[in-house]
Amino acid sequence: AMLDAKTTFKISGSLPQNVNYAVKSTYAQAMLDTLPEIYDKLIEPARSKSAAVDRVKKSTVMILSYE
């Protein structure tokens, strides 16, 4: 899904940048409860800060842009 830039500009006078969407955990949990086969595919949360950092490092990249 994308935020409509033209409509947003008309309403607010600015263009949307880096828009993030959130879903309440209760809604996500209710949806997952209807899909029990998904539970097997979910990754167990990290038990410690260092484990969380190790997991995130595998999914993080640096992007450099030059004119």
Q: What is the pLDDT of residues 1-57, one digit of tens each?
A: 678 889 989 999 988 777 777 888 898 888 888 888 887 777 777 789 998 888 888
> How many structural domains is the chain composed of?
1
Q: Is residue 48 part of a domain?
A: yes
CA distance 20 to 14: 16
The whole-number pLDDT of residue 14 equals: 87
Q: What is the span of the domain harbouring residue 10?
A: 5-57
Q: Is residue 14 part of a domain?
A: yes
Q: Is residue 66 part of a domain?
A: no
Question: Quick one: tokens of 30?
Answer: 């209710």
User: Around Cβ 8, how many Cβ atoms within 10 Å?
Assistant: 14
How much is the pTM?
0.36
Cα–Cα–Cα angle for 58, 64, 67, rounded to 5 degrees: 165
Question: Quick one: tokens of 11?
Answer: 């309403």
Question: Quick one: tokens of 50?
Answer: 């260092």
The whole-number pLDDT of residue 10 equals: 92
Q: Is residue 67 part of a domain?
A: no
Tracing tokens 């899909």 back to the chain, one arrives at: 35
Q: Is residue 20 part of a domain?
A: yes
Q: Is residue 65 part of a domain?
A: no
The whole-number pLDDT of residue 1 equals: 63
